[in-house]
Amino acid sequence: MEALTNNPTIQSLQQKHDKTELKWYISNIITPDSSQIMETLQICKNLLLYNSPQSPDSKYEKGPSLKLAISFGNNKVGDAVNGFIIRDGPYIVDLNLSIKNHYFNKHVNRLRLKNPIVLESIVNCLNYLNDAINELQELSNSDKKEVNEEECLKCFVKLSELIKSSKNSLQIPTDPEMIFPLHVTNEDNFESDIKGSENHEISVDFYTCDNQISLDLRSLHKVHEKPWCEIDKSTGKSYVDNIRDEMKQSSSTPSDILLTSSSNTNHNPNNNNTNNNNFFSSLIHHFKNKPDAMDYINRAVTYNGHVVLVDKKFEVS
């Protein structure tokens, strides 16, 4: 049996048969169904872009904007976020949220939108769908010419990847640039003053997760204590980032790395910033426990050119 299988003549006949079958399958099954698949993808695209299964024209109007209620509360501590978000295509066009939390309420009680915000994850999904539709368009045109099996197989693989990518873009944030801490909130998009102060800042992120619009709100405390607040301008990495990198590449304990880092600088990680002349900051330091070295290593984040600690976070879908 093995001798027959390895026979060059039989192998040649088998390959020819397989090629004939594949050609028939592509011409009679795949290609005729490509228009239906393309129509389904177009409907998905229209629903995301126009809030309607059909593209707007003289007969069909664009679908209405989608109003999404936001409600989150924690009765034990009294925290709450309530209001609504309005999405129109790949944009957040309106937002009205009331926030009840003592960290946020030092700076803002309500968030209102001034300029539309682009939902990059929906834009990415639309781009993938466009590319998939174009691939199917090329495939459907193949019935007008000689079918190239290899090209069709490449098309199937690419089409599968595009559809999978379009789905994933709505399931999870696939690009770190879209979310905290790499994504920096544009304060000009909001009527409320979220710029913060010398010691505090607020971040607001929108993204899609599990096919829903998700809102990420964070109240951030800016770190002024040296060396934890220091950032290398050439790399954009903070003192904490560099320590974490060392911890990943070294078998040394965090304490060993801290001692080495401390001996190479003129700063003691646990000393106050002697140059801090802000009276209120000094007063807070007296009445509030300062973060220790491990707190900084575990919690400090580099955001918008500052080292920050997250005081409070709301994630609402």
For residue range 173-182, what is the model confidence (pLDDT) as tens digits?
888 999 999 9
Question: Global pTM?
Answer: 0.79
| pLDDT of 3 | 52
- Of the candidate ranges 7-11, 38-42, 266-270, the one whose mean pLDDT is the lowest: 266-270
Mean pLDDT of 227-254: 86
User: Which residue type sits at 119?
Assistant: L
Q: Would you say 217 and 99 are in contact if contact means Cβ atoms under 8 Å apart?
A: yes
User: CB count, 10 Å around CB of 198?
Assistant: 10
User: What is the structure's pLDDT at 149?
Assistant: 74
CA distance 293 to 286: 18
- In contact, 169 and 121? CB cutoff 8 Å: yes
Tens of pLDDT, residue by residue over 144-164, are 556 677 778 888 899 999 999
CB 82 within 8 A of CB 70: yes
- Confidence at 104, pLDDT banded by 50, 70, 90: very high
The secondary structure element, H or E, covering residue 120 is helix 120-140
Res. 51: pLDDT tops 70: yes
The reported pLDDT for the residue numbered 260 is 55
* Averaged pLDDT for residues 280-300: 70
SS3 214: strand
For residue 301, the tally of other CB atoms under 10 A from its CB is 18
Provide the pLDDT for residue 168.
94
According to the model, what pLDDT value does residue 92 have? 96
Kindly state the average pLDDT of the residues 175-199. Answer: 88
- Written as six digits, the tokens of 189 are 């998009």
Q: 156 near 195, Cβ under 8 Å? A: no
CA–CA distance, 197 with 211 (Å, rounded to integer): 35
Cross-strand partners of 80 = 73, 100
- C-alpha torsion 191→196→200→204, nearest 10: 30
Q: Which two tokens stand for residue 205?
A: 């992120």
Share of the chain above pLDDT 90, in %: 50
Expressed in angstroms, the distance from the first to the final Cα of the chain is: 61
CB 314 within 8 A of CB 215: yes
